A and B are shown apart, each in its own frame.
Chain A
């Protein structure tokens, strides 16, 4: 394939993958009457942030946004903490059953939420976690993918560093948080990004656990809006765009960590 042909193909694909997103953004900048006026124009004739203002003012939108932010941030913090700890234990200690524990943890990938919807609902009901944000924060916080990534990365940390610290009398916890954590920053960043993205985008957990409208996350609220008989598109489109912004922010901030995680993780959770 020659160079021009390749470039034309790449630009065509760019349109295929990016234009739909662009179209949503442009549409969200149009007022209701322009949104449904033919002929359609790609660029808004009178771009306005009116819809966004309306979205923020309407009902509990800010509350949904806050719920989502709370869930994503808190569960990311928990995920990082416990996954880094597990990755460390599974890579830098030798004890009986270590590899078995690792295998079992990875094997939990065989049982995704889709398969245990019913018992999860009953369990959360019995634990009093229904309609609580904690009910969607804690259960998915331990991710096999995170443990896998952490363990693979920790294996590259030289044992001599840990040994030297032990000889100097450093306790196990001290070594973990003074030596291991600083060295593990890149993998912490990787897991943080993915965890934030998974939890921010998550729909199935809140769908099962949350029924109270006040506890809705953004995804739940959006799915609800679009399911209504008479969809208020101008509002919905601006809400959709708002819900993407945190992800774009995270993506731009940590771009270089993405590829590492994608290629070594290979698992979408």
Chain B
């Protein structure tokens, strides 16, 4: 990077940059570092909001291993991740390939595909509750009017998970599409020209040029999508509230309920530590990938 050109006089100006950094550092320290440390500490306690804090060592974690409802929500989360990530990656790559051109008309399509990304999860959830409603939804209306049976999209266990996965893909494809478009547009045009002269068809160009060239982007997309899927909460909160039963209850919701509804904050913290480890690990991989990506530029 540009280390070489900075003039000498600035070497001594330590105070100015520290002052510029101060507000950010304070906020990070107070609202991220301190809570993270105290979260780790709380996971070793039986902790109630009313003030009982008893050190219990690793007891919370031992209980966690035996806790069916924890495994259930972790399992639900992992199943969701397992479906969402490949579908999301595939759909956003596929669409990016369609609209990676520079023409104006293509840009317009891109804008429309991007729109759902701008909506909050709450709005996305409300919208799809309206569209997929058992009695009132347009989807069931169309299904029954062509002679089909209406489907309980959000209120039957199997369909609720499937709907949730579909809606997530719908809501986030635009975001990852833009990343892929960026990657595709960075491929030098001469490569395509050369391939075309050699008589390569569309599929060969994809397999031999586009795919290898966007692999770094793809890895980042996969990791980011995984992180975001593990963090899922809002959409579920609005669409199914974790139901029916506990069919769509995910990790974040479990943490919230154990902490604030059951007032077992220490135990909730131990669940949060598990999530912290998962997300921390994935973010670490993301950094590694990003570094490699920059090195290639």
Contact = CB atoms under 8 A, between A and B. Distances in A.
Interface in A74-119: 81-83, 85-86, 88-90, 92-96, 98, 101, 104-112, 114-119
Contact of A89 (B17, B127, B170, B290): B17
Interface of B: 1-3, 5-7, 9-11, 13-14, 16-18, 20-21, 23-25, 27-28, 30-36, 38-39, 42, 49, 95, 98-99, 109, 111-116, 118-123, 125-131, 136, 138, 141, 145, 170, 173-175, 178-179, 181-182, 202, 220, 224, 228, 231, 233-234, 237-238, 241, 252, 255-256, 259-260, 265, 268-269, 272, 275-276, 279-280, 283-284, 287, 290
Q: How large is the interface on A (under 10, 10 to 19, 20 to 34, 35 or more residues)?
A: 35 or more
B273 to A, nearest CB: 8
Contacts of B125: 223, 226
B231 A112 contact: yes
27 contacts: A21-B116, A21-B127, A24-B127, A86-B20, A86-B23, A89-B18, A93-B16, A94-B10, A94-B11, A95-B14, A95-B17, A108-B33, A110-B276, A110-B280, A110-B284, A114-B275, A119-B36, A119-B42, A120-B31, A120-B35, A139-B27, A142-B23, A159-B5, A159-B7, A226-B122, A262-B175, A262-B179
A139 to B, nearest CB: 4
Which 9 A-B residue pairs are closest in the complex by CB-CB distance?
A: A201-B120, A263-B182, A89-B20, A89-B17, A119-B35, A93-B17, A139-B31, A142-B27, A172-B16
Nearest to A98: B17
Nearest to B269: A118
B112 A14 contact: yes
Residue of A14, A109, A155 with most partner-chain B CB within 10 A? A109
B112 A266 contact: no
A108 B130 contact: no
Contacts, number: 256
A96 B127 CA distance: 51
A203 interface: yes
A178 interface: no
A43 interface: no
A16 B170 contact: yes
Interface in A242-269: 243-244, 247, 251, 255, 258-259, 262-263, 266-268
A6 B99 CA distance: 10
A109 B283 contact: yes
Given A1-B202, A24-B127, A268-B175, A86 B21 contact: yes
B228 to A, nearest CB: 7
Contact of A263 (B28, B99, B109, B179): B179
Interface string A191-218: 0000001001111100000000000000
Contacts of B252: 114, 117
Contacts of A163: 7, 9
A189 B62 CA distance: 49
Given A226-B126, A267-B224, A118 B20 contact: no
**Is chain A's binding surface mostly helix, strand, loop or mixed?**
helix
A236 B32 contact: no
Contact of A243 (B95, B116, B123): B123
Contacts of B130: 23-24, 27, 233, 237
Contact of B28 (A27, A105, A258): A105
Contacts of B129: 226
Nearest to B116: A17
A40 to B, nearest CB: 5
A222 interface: yes
Nearest to A267: B224
B244 to A, nearest CB: 15
A20 interface: yes
Nearest to A265: B179
B219 to A, nearest CB: 12
Interface in A44-96: 81-83, 85-86, 88-90, 92-96
Nearest to A124: B31
